[in-house]
Amino acid sequence: MALSPYDQQVYDAGFEFIPQTKFLQNPFQIPQSGIATDPNTGAGITTIPINRGGDDDVQGYESFTPSFTRRGVFADPKEYGPGGTYEINPAALGFEFGPQGQVMRAGPGKNLQGQLGPTTTNPRLFGSSLDRGINSIAGIPMREIADMYDARMQNVPGQDVRNFFRNLMGAKSNFAVARAPGTLQQMMEKIPSLTGILSSIGGNVDRSDRSRFAVDNAGFGQGTGRDQFGVFTGGKTLFGTTSNYTERMKNELADIAKNFGYDLDDLMGLDPATLDALGQRNMFRKTQVVDYVNKLRAKDIEKQYLDAIRKQEFIDSGRRDEVRDLQDRIDRGDFDSGRFSDKNTGITDRGRGQYGGNGKGSSGSSGSSGSSGTSSGGYGGGAERGRGDRFMDGGIVDMLEIYD
Interval 107-152: pLDDT, tens: 888 888 999 999 877 889 999 999 988 889 999 999 999 999 999 9
- Same domain (yes/no): 113, 176: yes
273 SS3 class: helix
Of the given ranges (142-151, 228-237, 259-268, 329-338), which has the lowest mean pLDDT? 329-338
Output the pLDDT for position 369: 42
pLDDT of residue 29: 73
Query: Do both 55 and 96 map to the same domain?
Result: no
CA distance 48 to 36: 10
Residue 278 domain flag: no
48 and 13 within one domain: yes
Final residue of a structural domain among 205, 240, 261: 205
Q: What average pLDDT is seen over the chain?
A: 77
What pLDDT does residue 62 have? Answer: 92
pLDDT at residue 268 is higher than 70: yes
Q: What is the mean pLDDT of residues 207-215?
A: 96
Cβ–Cβ under 8 Å, residues 102 and 149: yes
Is the pTM value of this prediction over 0.75?
A: no
Q: Which of 157, 183, 205 is the last residue of a domain?
A: 205
Q: Give yes or no: residues 172 and 94 share one domain.
A: yes
Measured over the CA atoms of residue 390, residue 393, residue 397 and residue 403, the dihedral's sign is negative
Q: State residue 325's pLDDT score.
A: 85
Per-residue pLDDT, 256: 97
- The predicted-structure confidence for 381-403, as pLDDT tens digits, reads as follows 344 444 444 444 444 444 444 44
The verdict on 48 and 135 lying in the same domain is no
Residues 55 and 137 in one domain: no
% the chain with pLDDT above 70: 67
Does residue 11 fall inside a structural domain?
Answer: yes
Q: What's the gap between Cα 389 and its chain centre?
A: 47
For 148, the domain range is 90-205
Task: Specify if 83 maps to a domain.
Answer: no
Give the model's confidence band at 362: pLDDT under 50 very low, under 70 low, under 90 confident, else very high: very low
Backbone dihedral angles phi then psi of residue 192, each to the nearest 5 degrees: -55, -40
| Coil, strand or helix at 212 | helix
d(CA 269, CA 297): 10
Residue 154 lies in a domain: yes
Is 297 contained in some domain?
A: no
143 or 11: which leads in pLDDT: 143
| Whether the predicted pLDDT of 333 surpasses 50 | yes
Q: Which residue has the higher pLDDT, 3 or 96?
A: 96
What is the greatest pairwise CA distance in the chain? Answer: 119
Name residue 140's beta-bridge partners: 137
Write the CB contacts of 337 (distance below 8 Å, at least 6 apart in sequence).
379, 382, 385, 386, 389, 390
CA distances, 364 to each of 25, 53, 126, 352 (Å)? 114, 91, 60, 14
Q: How far apart are CA 326 and CA 341, in angstroms?
A: 17
Q: State whether 26 and 97 are in the same domain.
A: no
Q: What DSSP state is assigned to residue 2?
A: P
Condensed to tens digits (0 to 9), the pLDDT of residues 196-210 reads 555 544 457 899 999
Which amino acid is residue 86, in one-letter code? Y
pLDDT given for residue 168 in this prediction: 72
In a domain, 248, yes or no: no
Q: b/e map of 227-243 (b: 16 or more CB within 10 Å)?
A: bbbbbbbbeeeeeeebe
pLDDT at 21 over 50: yes
Same domain for 198 and 95: yes
* Same domain for 198 and 126: yes
33 burial (CB, 10 Å; 0-12 / 13-18 / 19+) is: exposed
Determine the number of helices (DSSP H) and then strands (DSSP E) in the chain: 13, 2
> Which residue type sits at 258?
K
Residue 118 or 353, more confident = 118
- Verify that 102 and 194 share a domain, yes or no: yes
**96 and 57 in one domain?**
no
In this structure, the dihedral spanned by the alpha carbons of residues 254, 260, 266 and 267, taken in order and rounded to 10 degrees, is -60
Q: Hey, what's the torsion of the CAs at 82, 87, 91, 92, to 10 degrees?
A: -160
Q: Is residue 188 in a domain?
A: yes
Count up the domains in the chain and report the number. Answer: 3
**What average pLDDT does the segment 8-16 reach?**
67
- How far is 393 from 367, CA to CA, in rounded Å? 29
95 with 58, same domain: the answer is no
Residue 203's pLDDT is: 59
Higher-pLDDT residue of 32 and 248 is 248
* Cα atoms found within 13 Å of the Cα of residue 10, Cβ hemisphere only: 16
